[in-house]
């Protein structure tokens, strides 16, 4: 079901919601829009106790959080029937993972963060939004998720936004992929040097850089890139290396 144009609460919050969804090429139904608004309210409440994110009000929320979480998934948003398994590494206050759980009603999400208070808040928000059956929160380092029986080699998609340098994130994500799975790294700027470093970094993981997509956020909020890496074979058991090593000695 499509929502009416300019629902009052969203219209009051984000300058022009119709333009926002038009730029995305997808719009939430009434239930999804209600869940996105409920998530915003949850964030306000949790932020009073815990510094989860500063992007909570107006365009900060609807563009820099919601739109930015969703834009790389346009094609999936239009075929949400696929029961995909996704893992969001370094989810922080639940982005992009909770937004994807709302927008992809068939998907199962695992959200990983090593900070206990953030993981507990995200777990409580997922439960409050009625997502508890499809969302699992793990409080642990990504290097340990990549070695856990529940996570290693299990996911169709592994994703991360604003967690570490791209080669470091690749080492966190690729071991989590099932054969044929793909990793999606949300990046801001992306240069030719970044591209070369990434191509070198994914080689030992038996993965390949598949594509890089570019998006300008609405209202001049900046440029974003989605870097997609595909598992080309089984990731060697050596990876991920022990906690802290990927960041200290990045691949490539």
Residues of the shown chain interacting with ligand SAM in the complex, contacts defined by CB under 6 A: 53, 90-93, 95, 112-115, 118, 141-143, 161-164
Shortest Å distance, C-beta 96 to ligand SAM: 7
In whole angstroms, give the CA distance from residue 138 to residue 176. 14
- The least CB distance from residue 18 to ligand SAM, in Å, is 26
In sequence order, what are the beta bridge partners of 185? 160, 227
248 contacts: CB under 8 Å, gap ≥ 6: none
Closer to ligand SAM by CB, 228 or 232: give it.
228
- For the bound state, the minimum distance from the C-beta of residue 21 to ligand SAM, rounded and expressed in Å, comes to 21
Nearer to ligand SAM, 35 or 88 (CB): 88
Judge contact between 104 and 73, C-beta under 8 A: yes
Nearer to ligand SAM, 21 or 61 (CB): 61
Min dist CB 84 to ligand SAM, Å, is 19
- Per DSSP, helices labelled H in the chain are 8-13, 17-24, 30-47, 58-61, 68-70, 74-77, 97-103, 116-128, 142-145, 166-173, 192-202, 245-248
Nearer to ligand SAM, 72 or 90 (CB): 90
Q: Which residue is nearest to ligand SAM (CB)?
A: 92
């Amino acid at each position: 079901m499509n929502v009416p144009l300019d629902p009052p609460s969203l219209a009051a919050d984000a300058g022009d919601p119709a333009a926002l969804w038009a730029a995305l090429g997808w719009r939430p139904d009434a239930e999804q829009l209600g869940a996105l608004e409920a998530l915003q309210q949850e964030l306000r409440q949790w932020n009073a106790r815990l510094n989860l994110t500063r992007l909570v009000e107006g365009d900060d929320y609807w563009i820099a959080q919601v739109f930015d979480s969703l834009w790389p998934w346009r094609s999936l948003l239009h075929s949400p029937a696929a029961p995909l398994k996704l893992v969001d590494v370094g989810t922080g206050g639940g982005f992009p993972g909770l937004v994807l759980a709302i927008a992809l009603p068939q998907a199962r999400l695992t959200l990983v963060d090593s900070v206990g208070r953030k993981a507990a808040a995200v777990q409580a928000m997922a439960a409050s939004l009625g997502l508890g059956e499809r969302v699992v929160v793990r409080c642990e380092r990504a290097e340990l998720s990549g070695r856990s029986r529940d996570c290693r080699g299990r996911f169709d998609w592994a994703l991360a936004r604003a967690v570490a340098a791209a080669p470091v994130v690749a080492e966190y994500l690729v071991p989590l992929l099932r054969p044929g799975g793909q990793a999606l790294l949300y990046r801001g700027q992306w240069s030719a040097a970044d591209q070369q470093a990434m191509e070198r970094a994914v080689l030992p993981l038996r993965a390949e850089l598949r594509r890089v997509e570019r998006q300008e956020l609405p209202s001049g909020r900046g440029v974003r890139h989605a870097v997609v890496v595909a598992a080309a074979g089984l990731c060697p058991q050596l990876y991920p290396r022990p906690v802290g090593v990927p960041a200290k000695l990045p691949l490539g």
